[in-house]
A and B are shown apart, each in its own frame.
Chain A
Amino acid sequence: MTPDKPEGFVEIEHTADISLRIWATTLKDLFKLAVDGLNSIIEIDVDDTDPGNFQEFYIEDIDLESMLVSLLNECNFKIQDDNLCARITEIFIENEKISGRLFLKKIIGFRNEIKAVTYHNLKINHSNKGYSVVIVFDV
């Protein structure tokens, strides 16, 4: 956790790839911020003329970490192959499934490419202050 802000994300040192530390008071916000962090690394220019649209999502996997990787991979794919930038507007988390709504806007361009979201030392930590995770992205 970072004491001066209840939630956020920050890039931390990694020799070759990009490592992002994300923290939030709730698990839902952690997932939302992880998607915002991904978008921030990629440095996306969204098309401001596009009104955007909503899309439902549903992910089932073996644990929270796998669902987080799945969600981020999904958003990364949307950027690279569908030219759409996603933000979470609504999210529900149950035992081994997450669902919710993404708000999608067209992309004009982006400056960085993420090859993959990795599982390297991936663990969502929970304390009395909230949730945190460090994600390594292969770039």
Chain B
Amino acid sequence: MVAITDFMKISDYEWEIPRNYRSDMRVPVRIFSTRKMLEQSLSDLSVEQAINAATLPGVVGSVVVMPDMHQGYGFPIGGVAATDFSTGVISPGGIGYDINCGVRLLASQIPYKGVKDQIQSLVIALDHHCPSGVGSEGGIHLSLKELEEICEDGAHWALKNGYATKQDLRRTEENGCIPGANAKKLSERAKKRGLPQIGTLGSGNHFIEIDLIEEIFDEETAKIFGLQKGNLAVMIHCGSRGLGHQVCSDTVQSFQKTIHKYGIKIPDRELVCAPLNSQEGQDYLAAMRAAANYAFCNRQVLAYLARKAFEQVLAGKVKNWQLYQVYDIAHNIGKIEDHKVDGILRKVCVHRKGATRAFGPDVSGIPDEFSKTGQPVLVPGSMGTSSWVLAGTKSSMERSFGSSCHGAGRLMSRQKAKKTIRGDQLKIDLEKKGIYIQAGSMSGLAEEAPGAYKDVDQVIETVSGAGLAKKIARLVPLAVVKG
């Protein structure tokens, strides 16, 4: 087991496990955390998992871990690992089963004060319009051809079919479509699972939340992002649903058979991988991108449905009831990007598993209007706590492959949460605080209780203290639709 004494302290917010800690490590592990949070993290396998990720062939720089880290399977959640494009590998377990799970933030000119008594109606309407829960199916019936178009065109399919605006696409990571996706690389099973699920939230930790923008930390940047204190915002958290899960399952399974021919040794079978320049690696990249595009389109359709819900409740009662997009980002993804490693610009595959891209100012790949501010970094909290909007920094480009944290990070197991927290009581307690909840299952609600998560404010203090991102705005929840 790793002990706190195994770490080298770099600063109050940065710790390192040197490369020589274990003989199979190819690079060090760099953890952004306070001492207290790091000690907490040592109670599960997250640090060991980061060390395992540091053994992957072609991994460069350091394996970076965010303060919201916790145990996953293979990679830790909150982990970032970059592998050399020419000599490195791609590991589906380093991206996750929910490919392009991510967050979208919609802002508004709706003052909370003016609609305080409409919040409950709004969350009921959101729940009605946006299918959620286990096995949820959407209202859009796709043909196979349409599904394949979605996988290759992403949110552009939504624009073509009236579910998006041009601004939505501009304000989505990769403009809502990662090039190089190939629907032909998806299994029949993946396609079957994707057909009925476009425009659905799913279950687990996925949600749609109505927030109040409570505090602004940087007026100028907040204005550029479209955030104004006292107004409502809507946050959507979900991913690629069964289609993405199937792509990852198919690949993890098939890579088990092919890894040996490349002579790759891994400490955990969930880290299974293939060289990026191999046929297997390229096929996965194309399928993973197809699933990522499905997820961009899924969140886009959900945004369209959320707008319908707001229109139903507020049109005619409130002057500017529209919701406009701040940004949409992925936090489970593999991206081919250029980063400086030891002073040399290299093309790498950045695996972000429970980590958000946080590109700083003047970096290509972000919308023009954010070129001076850095991209918005969206960090949801847990139902009863704050969510945050940050901005990417120059420092994140140099120290974390342009990445930051993705949430609060789990602290308590689902099993323990269900044993110690009653879903129905939690709903009552949250409603007493003025937070309305629409949830399909009370046990599911208990699993996602705020007490099961780390303190998101401490996570934010750490990433901002470390210089990976800059605080722009703090949001507080008013109502939540839980998947």
In the assembled complex, the CB of B273 is this many whole angstroms from the nearest CB of chain A, namely: 12
Enumerate chain B residues within 8 angstroms of A18, measured Cβ to Cβ. Answer: 414-415
- Given A13-B415, A111-B444, A116-B248: A81 in contact with B269 (beta carbons within 8 A): no
Given A138-B97, A139-B414: A15 in contact with B71 (beta carbons within 8 A): yes
B320 close to A (CB within 8 Å): no
| Distance, CA A13 to CA B415, complexed state (A) | 7
B385 at the binding interface (Cβ < 8 Å): no
Do B253 and A16 touch (CB < 8 A)? Answer: no
CA distance A109 to B444 in the complex (A): 15
Q: A118-B73, A119-B270, A120-B268 are in contact. Are A113 and B415 (CB under 8 A)?
A: no
Min distance, Cβ A46 to any Cβ of chain B, angstroms:
15
**Bound complex: CA of A33 vs CA of B248, how far in Å?**
25
| In the complex, residue of chain B having the shortest beta-carbon distance to the beta carbon of A82 | B192
Q: How far is the CA of A62 from the CA of B253 in the complex (A)?
A: 10
How many Å from the CB of B174 to the closest CB on chain A? 23
Which listed residue (B192, B204, B252) contacts A139, Cβ 8 A?
Answer: B204
Q: Is the CB of B71 within 8 A of A16?
A: yes
Assembled-state Cα–Cα distance A116/B270 (Å): 12
B382 CB to closest chain A CB (Å) equals 13
Cβ-defined partner of B411 (8 Å) among A15, A62, A66, A121: A15
Give Cα distance in the complex from A73 to B414, angstroms: 22
B415 touches A11 (CB 8 A): yes
- Interface contact B444-A116, CB-CB below 8 Å: no
Contacting residues, chain B, for A75 (C-beta < 8 A): none
| Other-chain contact of B135, A16, A17, A113, A116 (Cβ < 8 Å) | A113
Which of the residues B193, B411, B415, B443 comes within 8 Å of A81, measured between beta carbons? B193
Q: Are A81 and B74 in contact (CB under 8 A)?
A: no
**Cα–Cα, bound, A16→B73 (Å):** 9
CA distance A110 to B444 in the complex (A): 12
Closest to A62 in B: B257
Q: Which chain A residues border B189 with CB–CB below 8 Å?
A: 77, 81
Task: List B442-463 residues whose CB lies under 8 Å from chain A.
Answer: 443-444
Q: Is A102 an interface residue (CB 8 A)?
A: no
- Which residues from chain A contact B389 at a C-beta distance below 8 Å? none
Interface residues of A in 1-54 (CB under 8 A from B): 11, 13-18
In the bound complex, what is the Cα–Cα distance between A115 and B253 (angstroms)? Answer: 14
Asked if residues B253 and A120 are in contact (CB atoms below 8 Å), the reply is no
Residues of A within 8 A of B411 (CB): 15
Q: Flag if A112 contacts B256 (CB, 8 Å).
A: no
For the complex, what is the distance from the CA of A17 to the CA of B73, rounded to whole Å? Answer: 9
Pick the contact of B249: A17, A117, A120 (CB < 8 A). A117
| A interface residues, Cβ below 8 angstroms from B | 11, 13-18, 61-62, 65-66, 69-70, 73, 77, 80-81, 109-113, 115-122, 136, 138-139
